[in-house]
Structure 1
């Protein structure tokens, strides 16, 4: 081996060793982590939206967050083979679509000159929640046992108003019957932490 080749190899080894040293002493890279929201965060934000419509509207919070009296809900599997999403038939003004691993909630219609902002949160019955999301379209991962709570705000000609609350129950696909009906009694009739915190 020529002296020039040996020198080149020595330089390469020294560079590799230097790089390894740098990697060993550098702190590990990290991604920015955001604390998950709580049911209380959603409750406070919805109450704020209600009060923006006019002083005293927050008093209707309990009425707006009560689940429907019937627990035989419509359901859809969409394009998912493993999951289904159940919802009360009176989910207007929202529309829900289900993909293989996510669900999306949007407005059923958009009116020119009117702006909408939805807020939503997905939690299990023990009130362990993901981030609270907001926007014109909200997406949530599908996870059996989770409930999704959606509300929103609407602004037209400088006048603010609030949109109703809608609940979605994520279940396994076999819990949605061939008639597209699911029973969600067990979700809403327990004293689960998620409801205690939403209604306190």
Structure 2
């Protein structure tokens, strides 16, 4: 979990820096959604344990919440209140929960690659909604952030969903290429069946 959480934190950090330095017109969620989804879905597939999607965001939720508070409340007072940093911090674990729920409750009749792709779509769809929610309720003036996030939505949202599905399938393919062995999770009702690459 620590390795996945650290990798995810690294990808999110690079994504934010990339947006600040390079893109200036497209939100990091759309540009780096693929990489974030590969990490999350691969972690969920590899462990087969419900809650891994949430657990991967623990580092992000703790350190990221403090960083959001410091940068957007203390340094440049843009957040409504300190609780707004917590809203941002919780967006990640809730998006991870969507990956956990999708992987657990999607029909087992779907091929594992299809389930992984659908898990990726569910994850990025939830991430999109949660970021939109955080932008809408967290800032003193949400208009600039919302305009930036929704810029070109007719292209960027479908792009995000397609790349999320592709990333889920890539996570499945990477898992399969690694031999398909998976960690033994706890035997409980609703546990994922052994990996069948």
TM-score computed with the length of structure 1 as normaliser? 0.23
Q: Which has the higher contact order (CA 8 A, sep 6+)?
A: 2
More helix by share: 2
More strand by share: 1
